[in-house]
Structure 1
Amino acid sequence: MRDVQPDEGPAEQVREALLGMGREGDFGRLGKASQWLARWQRRYPPRIENATLAIFAGAHGISGGSDVSLSSDDSTMSKVGALRDGKAPLSAIAAQVGANIRVFELAIEQPTADFTDGAAMSEKECAATIAYGFEALEGQPDVLGLGVIGAGIGTAAAAVACALYGGTADYWVRPGPLAPRNVSGSRTDVVNAALARHRGHLDDPLEALRCVGGRELAACVGAILAARIQSVPVVLDGFATTIAAGIVHAINPAAVSHVMSGHVTKRPAHQAALDRLDMAPLLPLEFNTGGGMGSTAAIGLLKTACAPFLGQPQSG
């Protein structure tokens, strides 16, 4: 991957402008966020005029034969339809913050293989899905929010987390407070079975993605890589998008400095994943899940972070 470095000049302009408005630190995380935006947008003042929210919708073979999900593929299709029709709650939130939703349906009618029996994806499928994620950058957004929907996504992300960071399956499965105990137990059993099945093949982060991940994670990886090449800031959503960033981070820790965590959910494993990336969420919104809600809300907050610079002479 071609490494693109941030531009510290605009970030320093933001810092100097903020100092002219008050004391060091008066703007807290909003001040840091505006510097981050200016650094990666490579312009002063930072501004959000063309925000994209990319929602990747996937399906997993593990969700069909075991009690690992509170959702279903039919529910995923309904959510996709509601988003495309502009009738989902997320549609209203995105409209409020001025973000354009793009929904990428990743062959929901053909779930990935059951990764307790074999690899979730072939090498060709995994590579093609990563490349497909590049399409989230069409339209040249000036900030990209990520979100995923689909049954089994959290279980796949937990399996990848085990491969990346070690630890027990139940540690990374840890769901939010609404998940029934039997569902958590089933998810833990599935992750343990997957780790046993692929033992010896999970040291490489991309191989871990292929073996125990899913198309939505692969597409998020592609979007993060493409955004890096194009110097577009990326806002993460929940646990799964954070694990996607973790895959890129495992390849090159410096390759996710253009990525920010929009929020943290009530899922304890989400905070644990952020800790591994040394990322602090913009807000502890305490949603039960992701689905794009947190990254969309964060885009609105990032617009607020840009507000003090409205009317300033533009460069870049």
Structure 2
Amino acid sequence: MLPDLTTLSDFRNALAQAPGADADARAACEDRNGQLTKPPGALGQLEEIAIWYGSWRGTARPEVRAPQVIVFAGNHGVTARGVSAFPAEVTVQMVANFKAGGAAINQLAQLADARMDVHALELDRPTADFTQGPAMSEEDLLAALRTGWNAVDPASDVLVVGEMGIGNTTSAAAICHALYGGEPGDWTGRGTGVDDEGLALKTAVVAEAVALHGSRDGLEVLRCLGGREIAAMAGAIAAARVLRIPVILDGFICCAAAASLARLHDQALDHAVAGHQSAEGGHQALLARLGKAPLLSLGLRLGEGSGAALAIQVLKGALACHSGMATFAEAGVSDG
């Protein structure tokens, strides 16, 4: 069961006290993997995925039966600076599209037989322009974290979180720059497709914001530079950690939310794998910082949880082999 979150300290404590993977289940998965009718390591990363997943689900022969996809939407005050190629009204319009089943993520969630939920977070009240002050108050941050925290179905067995929010690649770039340093241009990409002039403006905005707020604790970075939908993703990823539900991370924005948790606790993302490497500017560098090798690299830059939802198919393939293949003994095949 998830504890209630009434303060930010509750969130920090829940993450710090979250249980780890099941060591016995991991050992059993490794033992089974060693007996399957294949040369050692022949299935490469699929073997690692199956063992990782089984260790978090507590079984040597795991299956995916109840995936959940959650899309969070929020609006950003920093869009007033002209950092996006699209107006903020698109966020509202896309939420309607999600609810009508017309977006890419709807198709990929359906393909994965996943439950899909959509949470719009106060779209009529954008976060503040974080070049002028913190994006959110502590109360706003806690409310967004709680939305994500409470959105996770405890009965789900793998979680994907996605987002919609015009301006949120600027927010994600600022979060990464604050957490990891480097140059602002290292983390800033074209997002929805800004031109060279727009990219230069966006990079300057990221530099301005981080100069104002500095590098802080993970939750403070999220509060000062994040968005409601980014904080909600962090809340959902943390809830899954407490519930021992494996998570497939989506692209740059999702991983920026996850990075704020990694700054809070070294083991905060042990239950997560990277679904894909997106085409957005800093995602490859961010995955390297998080120590996550992507399952897919298809040049995607849509967001919505789309790359991670597609990667559910890779997870299912890994588990089909791990749990369904015969052992050498069962098949009557000599293992050498």
Shorter chain as normaliser: what TM range? Answer: over 0.9
Q: What's 1:290 paired with?
A: 303
Count of aligned pairs: 309
Please provide the CA RMSD for this pair. Answer: 1.7
Q: What's 1:220 paired with?
A: 233
Give the distance between the partners of 1:72 and 1:147, measured in 2 at CA. Answer: 20
Deviation at 1:177, TM superposition (A): 10
Unmatched tracts of structure 1, length 5 or more:
none
1:102 aligns with 2:102: no
Deviation at 1:205, TM superposition (A): 1.6
Q: Is the 8 A contact 2:248 2:272 kept in 1?
A: yes
Q: What's 1:83 paired with?
A: 98
Deviation at 1:183, TM superposition (A): 1.8
Give the distance between the partners of 1:150 and 1:250, measured in 2 at CA. Answer: 23
Q: Is the 8 A contact 2:156 2:245 kept in 1?
A: yes
Task: Return the match for 1:10 from 18, 25, 29.
Answer: 25
Q: What's 1:48 paired with?
A: 64
1:235 aligns with 2:248: yes
Task: Return the match for 1:37 from 53, 62, 78.
Answer: 53
Q: What's 1:117 paired with?
A: 132
Give 4+ residue runs of structure 1 displaced > 4 Å after superposition. none
Q: Is the 8 A contact 2:162 2:303 kept in 1?
A: yes
Give the distance between the partners of 2:301 and 2:150, measured in 1 at CA. Answer: 28
Query: Which sits farther off after the overlay, 7-16 or 83-92?
Result: 7-16
Secondary structure, counterpart of 2:52 in structure 1: helix
TM-score (norm 1): 0.93
Task: Return the match for 2:199 from 184, 191, 202.
Answer: 184
Q: Is the 8 A contact 2:251 2:301 kept in 1?
A: no
Deviation at 1:189, TM superposition (A): 1.6
Q: Which of the pair has more CA radius of gyration?
A: 2
TM-score (norm 2): 0.88
Q: What's 1:211 paired with?
A: 224
Deviation at 1:268, TM superposition (A): 3.2
Query: Which sits farther off after the overlay, 299-308 or 132-141?
Result: 132-141
Q: What's 1:256 paired with?
A: 269
Q: Deviations over 1:114-147 (max 9, x none)?
A: 1111110001111121122112312521000111
Question: Match for 1:34: what amino acid?
Answer: A
Give the distance between the partners of 1:7 and 1:139, measured in 2 at CA. Answer: 17
Q: What's 1:194 paired with?
A: 209
Q: What's 2:334 paired with?
A: none
Task: Return the match for 1:23 from 39, 59, 66.
Answer: 39
Give the distance between the partners of 1:279 and 1:290, measured in 2 at CA. Answer: 18
Percent of aligned positions with the same letter in both sequences? 35
Unmatched tracts of structure 2, length 5 or more:
1-13, 327-336
